[in-house]
Amino acid sequence: MISLYDILEAANGQLYGEPVAQIFTDFCIDPDKAGEGLLYVALRSDRGDTHQYIEEAIKNGASGVICSKPPNCDTDGVSVVFVQDAVDALVAWAHLVLGKLGTKVIGVTGSSGKSVTAAAINRVLSKHHSVHCHIVDYLDGQLSVPLALARLKPEHKYVVLKLGIAQPGEMAEMVQAVQPDVGVITHIGYAHTDTFGEPEQIALEKRILVEYLSPNGVAVLNYDDDLVRAMGKHTRAEVMTIGIDSFGTDLMAFNAVVGLNGTGFDLRYGGERYVGRWVPLPGKYNLYAVLSALAVGLHYDIPVEDSLKTLKELSPLPGRLNPLIGLNNSLLVDDSHTAEPQSALAALDWLDTIKEGHRAIFVMGDMENLGAYSQFGHRQVGQRAAEVADLIITEGTEASLLGRAALDQGMDPSRIRSLHSTQDTIATLKENIELNEKDIVLIKGGPSSRMELVTQSLLMDESDHEQLTRRDFGREAPVIVQHTRANWVEIDTNALASNVAFTREMLDDDVMMMAVVKSDAYGHGAVAVSKTALLNGAEYLGVASINEALELRDAGIDAPILILNHMPVFALRQAIRHNIAIALYDLDMARSYDRAARELHGKLRVHVKVDTGMGRLGVLAEEAISMFRHLKALQNIEIEGIYTHFSSADENLEYTEEQIENFNSVLRPLRASEFEFKYVHAANSAGILGGSNNHFNMVRAGIMLYGLRPSNMLDFPAELKPVMSWKTVVAQVRDLPPGYPIGYGNTYSTSENERIAILPLGYADGFRRSPQTWREVLVHGQRAPVVGRVSMEKCAINVTDISGVSVGDEVVLLGSQGDETITADEVAEWLGTINYEVVTSILPRVPRY
């Protein structure tokens, strides 16, 4: 319960207008979830600003608003409080309320296992006292504290708080605010090493919790973790150590018996032994939570025996090794809440102990925030997974490293699938694997990989949805979730998967599909696109160079690959060694290839390219027959295919017909003289969309797979959806007087008072400078014009007509925001080019997600 006057008092706040509601049931930071009785908190940080949503929050029924800027909307009927900084205000409120009520605080921190530990402590204390424990699951840091306390009531004697940190300095702020009586530290791992550096740094930050405790308090420390154990020297409070099989601890669990639905153990406390105990939490690792709860209970004079009894009623939390019934009575173990290497290893250890008689399937998404430990961490988990799992499915680029490590460990490649979209992960599990009652599927991943969606799709019983962890952030996400990127490309792998599947549907059954993934898959990322395309109906891959082909082979792709461009003879060794086919269009070159191939004792696969009227790479139709006669003699060349390329399938159907006829005039005599081709192909996207008489037995689909039309002249199916978006954030906003010049060369001057926002991207990212620039971008779902010259790393937009634009707001350069969309076609028109060039000229330094 939140009182308006407590907020005003704690935060030195000011009322804006009349106080209407004076008591609120909860805080609310997502405008979409605002409602009756809630106090909407508008947040502002260098990552963004949610003051823009105040109007909506009020419309949705919020009874109050806390803000640090005057709202520019009607606030009649709601209480509005003005504060300097909303997060500071809320933290001050938490401090005030805890002090007023005299509630004792138990703080839990660590790299993982915080929520389970808090839940166990809550269970033990609740048996004897009135306890408040609301776990804010989706958020770490200072803001999580007041959000967790909103529903605190005067009768609550204790509160159990998860103290997660995302930024240096936060722990000190939090402990000063809540003044914990008890501090529990679970373990120190690699989570957030991107921000903190070494785990040792993280330990220093977390240690603040125990440094702060008073001599009357207690620090509960995990003895088995070196960094945590060492904290015992840094507290004035009593220290209780806990451990598994570690003699010398105050509370020790031993003889653990790990089962599918729980864990059995014996316990030693002082001279006492408690044998044959059990908790319904799977995984030995969870015993740390149990031991912590016993220790906290002891501090408040709750006998071990009592606590052990109540802990039998615990149940797993959503997304933490939570067993659920899956399709065909398989067992899903949903561990999708979050992931870092140690918790993943712990989950695999558990799987190892219970897998006997089952097929163990490990489904893993990317782990986040690991910084320099990312590769190491993913590989470490992969090595262990190779020992434990019968089948590994990875989703995402980082997680694919895990599959590579398993492969290096000697795991059979047929038992590893590396995927790149939720859709493919689900389809693979549902369609290719045929889950049965002997299967245990362990599903894990970092929050952004949203692996709970995979669990959800595999549930036997719909009603179990309630048991899933939720990760659908609202529009406040950018402000509360860390993000450090200046500009980035987002790839919708699910859209890609459906585009490929849709294209497949357009083709006759006996026609194969080559996915053209040259130029890093038209800027979309060649490896992820290739893997996704192969899973959704493509059988062949087309690239532009040996390097592009090798990138795919390196990523473990063994599908056939054709280089559609010139390949120098010196690169032949690699082509043969990696079984890569090349385009052949010249007899002299064919002879050199043949000679080189003979020296290597290999055979080179080629597709002969016939120029039927494009005037580019190829052997002329009239010379083709004679060339083939000579090719026959070359023993080390295997002619696998023949193809041609259309020059104007998008605009000149008659000419295309001529090209087809030309091609046929080459094919006919060749077939008569018993040349057989495994692959005969001609059509690109325009050809595919233009008709089916040119499909032969393979097509080469490029641009349409990326959801872009090859030409305005052809009907483009609405089912094909753009795959790429390009985004950035506002770096600065300023009000400039009339006549103020902007950018190099002063090519633009403000004509009146204008509000100008600076964006952190420029031509060195591929945001074109000349001869023409992008004309508009999207901010707050509205169009803002680009003004002045684009610099190497910066550019400016005019946001005078868009209210409330502030630093950190998302800006869309390509793609959709709200109801507005900027398409690659539109940008192409601005730049005087085609959509192909728009997507391929975003430079490689821009990260793809």
Ligand X SMILES: *Cc1c(COP(=O)(O)O)cnc(C)c1O
Please give the residue ranges that form the binding site for ligand X (CB under 6 A): 516, 518, 564, 645, 684-686, 700-703, 710
CB of 824 to ligand X, least distance (A): 13
Please name which of 31, 16, 22 lies closest in space to residue 61, comparing C-alpha atoms.
31
> Comparing C-alpha atoms, which of 483, 493, 484 is closest to residue 536?
493
Least distance in Å: CB of 502 to ligand X? 14
Residue nearest to ligand X (CB): 702
Question: Which of 189, 710 has the CB closer to ligand X?
Answer: 710
Torsion, CA 598, CA 601, CA 606, CA 608, rounded to 10: 20
- Cα–Cα distances in Å, from 399 out to 373, 403, 476, 601, 816? 13, 7, 27, 37, 28
Angle between helical axes of 114-126 and 304-311 (0-180°, round to 10): 120
> 396 or 707: whose CB is closer to ligand X?
707
Pick from 77, 31, 38, 79: nearest CA to 55: 31
Instruction: Produce one character per residue of 610-636: b if its CB has 16 or more CB atoms within 10 Å, e if not.
Output: bbbbeeeebbebeebeebbeebeebeb
Closer to ligand X by CB, 572 or 701: give it: 701
Nearer to ligand X, 147 or 516 (CB): 516
Q: Name the amino acid, one letter, at 769.
A: R
Nearer residue to ligand X within complex by CB, 404 or 700: 700
Taking the C-alpha atoms of residue 499 and residue 702, their distance in angstroms, rounded to an integer, is 11
Distances from the Cα of 263 to the Cαs of 14, 260, 704, 716, in angstroms? 53, 8, 53, 58
Distance CA 183, CA 161 (A): 10
Do 190 and 377 touch, CB atoms closer than 8 A? yes
Q: Is 744 a catalytic residue?
A: yes
Residue 686 CB, nearest approach to ligand X (Å): 6
Least distance in angstroms from the C-beta of 716 to ligand X: 12
Helix and strand counts by DSSP (H, E) for the chain: 28, 44
Tell me the helix, strand and coil percentages in the chain, rounded to 5: 35, 25, 40
Question: Toward ligand X, which CB reaches closer, 293 or 814?
Answer: 814
In the complex, the smallest distance separating the C-beta of residue 684 from ligand X, rounded to whole angstroms, is 3
Least distance to ligand X from the beta carbon of 568, Å?
18
- Least gap, CB of 683 to ligand X (angstroms): 8
DSSP assigned state of 431 = I
- Looking at the Cβ atoms of 64 and 710, the one nearer to ligand X is 710
Give Cα 58 distance to the centre of its chain.
32
- Listed residue (637, 622, 545) closest to 591, CA to CA: 637
Smallest distance from the beta carbon of 547 to ligand X, in angstroms?
A: 16
At its nearest, how many Å lie between ligand X and the CB of residue 707?
12
Residue 768 Cα distances to 335, 527, 749, 828, 831, angstroms:
44, 26, 20, 11, 8
Q: How far is CA 431 from CA 267, 327, 333, 425, 458, in A?
A: 45, 11, 19, 10, 11
- For the bound state, the minimum distance from the C-beta of residue 681 to ligand X, rounded and expressed in Å, comes to 8
Whole-angstrom distance between the N-terminal and C-terminal Cα of the chain?
Answer: 40
In the block, which residue shows the tokens 């008092």? 9
Strands 272-279, 322-325: parallel, antiparallel or unpaired by DSSP?
unpaired
Beta-strand runs (E) in 521-591: 540-543, 561-563, 580-584
Work out the angle between the directed axes of helices 4-11 and 86-101 (0-180°, nearest 10). Answer: 110
Q: Distance (Å, rounded) from C-alpha 332 to C-alpha 92?
A: 43
Q: Collapsing DSSP states into helix, strand and coil, what is residue 121? A: helix
Number of alpha carbons in the 13 Å side-chain half-sphere of residue 177: 28
Cβ proximity to ligand X, 531 vs 645, nearer residue: 645
Q: Is the CB of 444 or the CB of 645 nearer to ligand X?
A: 645
Q: Report the nearest approach of ligand X to the CB of residue 459 (Å).
A: 39
Q: How far is the CA of 715 from the CAs of 659, 708, 718, 821, 829, in angstroms? A: 22, 12, 9, 20, 18
Give Cβ neighbours of residue 357 (< 8 Å, ≥ 6 apart).
Answer: 438
Residue of 162, 206, 518, 727 with catalytic role = 518
Q: Which of residues 293 and 686 has its CB atom nearest to ligand X in the complex? A: 686
The minimum distance between CB 585 and ligand X, in angstroms, equals 11
Q: How far is the CB of 511 from ligand X (least distance, A)?
A: 15
By beta-carbon proximity to ligand X, the closer residue of 419 and 705 is 705
Separation between Cα atoms, residue 601 and residue 576, nearest integer Å = 10
Q: Which is nearer to ligand X, 187 or 518 (CB)?
A: 518
Q: Which of 79, 87, 89, 64 is nearest to 11 (CA)?
A: 89
277 vs 518, beta carbon nearer ligand X: 518
- The 3-state DSSP class for residue 89 equals helix
Q: Are 691 and 715 in contact (CB under 8 A)?
A: no
Give catalytic residues, as residue numbers.
518, 744
